[in-house]
Chains A and B, each alone.
Chain A
Amino acid sequence: MMTKAVKALLFLFCLWLFSFSLNFVFFNENINFPGNEEIVVIPVQGMITLDGGSSFLTSSTSGKVIAQRIKEANEDPFVKGIVLDINSPGGTVLGSKVVVDELKKVDKPVVAVISEYGTSGAYWVASQADYIVADDLSIVGSISVLGSYLEYGGLLDDYNVSYQRLVTGEYKDISSPYKEMTSEEEALIMDRLQGIHDYLVVDVAEGRKMSVEDIQELADGLFYLGQDGINNGLVDYIGVKEFAINLTKELAGVSGGEVSEYTEERGFFDDFFKKYLSYSFYYIGVGIGSTLFSVDAQGLNIEV
C-alpha cells in the first residue's frame, strides 16, 4: 500500500503532466489556434542610431532594439504580421542598416505607416516593407546621404587660436572641424558618401520593386508629401495607422486577432524638443540641426 507521501508526489506528477500537456497542445510552435494570431506594431520614432541613447538636447532610437523586435516578431509563431509605425527623419547609416537587414529576413507581411515624416534612413527602412502607408501630408523620401558638419577653422583664426596638426597618416584628420577641408579631402569624402548613396538607392529600389533609375531620379535629397509619393511610387496607400493594421491583417489572412504595440518611453526634454523642432526644417531629411547635436570627435557624422 502506497504511503501518503508517495500518493502526494504522484498527484504532483499528474498536475505537472497536465501542465506540460497544456503547454504542448496550446503553446506548441507548430500548432496555431484561431484567436492566437497577433499583429505587432513596432515604433520607429526619432533619429535612428545603432545603440540609441539620449543626451540633454536630444535622444535617438536604437536600430539594434528595433531590429531585435523585428526578429522576435518574425520568430514568434503567434505573430502573423508586422506594422512599422514610422515617425523619423532618418539617422546614422548603420543604425538604419541593421533594421533594413533584419527586415529582409522577415517572411511575414510587413506594412510601414509613416505618420509625420519618414525620410532618409527611415524611408530606407520603410522601403523594405511590403506596402507603405502615409498621410497625404506626411513627409517622405529625401533619399540621400548627409555628411555636413560645422567647421570652426575660421573662428579659431579670429581668436588667434591655431590648429596644431599632429597626424601620422595624411588623412587622419580629414574631417576635423578645426581646419579648412582641402578640395582633395572633400573629393575623397564625397566619393565615399556617393558610395553610400548608391547602396541606398539600389536597396530602396529593390525594396520598392522599382527600377534603380526611377529611384535615382527621386534620390536628390528632396522630400515629398504623401500625396506626391502616391504619384511617384514612394507610397502605396494614403491612410493612418488603423488602415495599416487592417491592411496587415488582410495580408496575413487574420480576421480578428490582437494588436500588440511596443511603446517608447520619452523624457521631458524629448517631448520639449520634439515640439520645438516640429516647427523647423529639422525634420526634413535630417537638417543641420541634427548635425549640430551629433558631431563626433572627428567632426564628420554621416547620416541617411
Chain B
Amino acid sequence: MVKGQVIFASFWKRVFAYFLDFFLLTFVILSPLIDPFESKFGENISEAFNFTFGWDYFFLTVVIGFLILLYWSVMECWFGQSIGKMFFGISVQSTNKKQISFIQAIIRNITKLSLILLFLDTFYMFIKKKHQRFFEVLSETQVVVEVVQ
C-alpha cells in the first residue's frame, strides 16, 4: 500500500454498516416515538392510510427526519464515522482527505431520509461504476477503509 493511497470501502461493508445504524436509529433513538406513531396511525400500513394526515403526522415525520439526519451528520462530521461504520472499520473523509464539514455531512446524508432516494443515490454507483453515491460526489466526500493512526 502506497502512503496516502485511498482504499475505498467495499459496497457490502457500507451496506452492513448502514443496516447497523438503521437498527440503532429505529430501536434506540426513535424507540420513544414509535408508540405514539402507532397509536396515532395504526399498527399496520392499511390502517394508517385510513386516517387523514394532519398536524400530528407532519410533526412526527419532521422530528424523525431531523433525528435521522442529525445522527449521521453529527457522527460523520465529529468522528468521521457513524457507529455502524466504526463497527466495520470504515470512515468518511473529504475527497481532499480532510475531515468533512457539517454542510458536507448534511448533503451526503440527505438521501437517507427516504429509502427510495437512497436507492437511487446508490444506484448511481453502479451506473457510473464509482465508489461514491451521487450525493457523495455532490458533497465531495468518500467512504474509505479506516486508517489507523
Contacts and interface: CB of A to CB of B under 8 A. Distances in A.
Interface residues of B, number: 29
Interface of A: 4-5, 7-9, 11-12, 15-16, 18-20, 22-24, 26-27, 35-36, 76, 78, 258-263
Contacts of A19: 29-33, 63, 67
Interface string B30-71: 111101100110000000001110111001000100010011
B79 to A, nearest CB: 5
Interface string B82-105: 110010000000000000000000
B86 A262 contact: no
Contacts, number: 68
A49 B120 CA distance: 49
B51 to A, nearest CB: 5
A261 B52 contact: yes
Nearest to B47: A262
A73 to B, nearest CB: 12
A22 B28 CA distance: 14
B83 A16 contact: no
A12 B83 CA distance: 9
A23 B35 contact: yes
A76 B86 contact: no
Interface in B1-41: 24, 28-33, 35-36, 39-40
Contacts of A24: 32
B39 A22 contact: no
A38 B32 CA distance: 22
B74 A11 contact: yes
Given A15-B71, A262-B50, A23 B32 contact: yes
17 contacts: A8-B82, A9-B83, A12-B29, A12-B83, A15-B70, A16-B31, A19-B32, A19-B33, A19-B63, A22-B63, A23-B36, A26-B36, A27-B36, A78-B56, A260-B50, A261-B50, A263-B50
B71 A8 contact: no
Contacts of B56: 36, 78, 258
B28 A5 contact: no
B75 interface: yes
Contacts of A16: 28-29, 31-32
Given A22-B32, A23-B33, A258-B54, A15 B79 contact: no
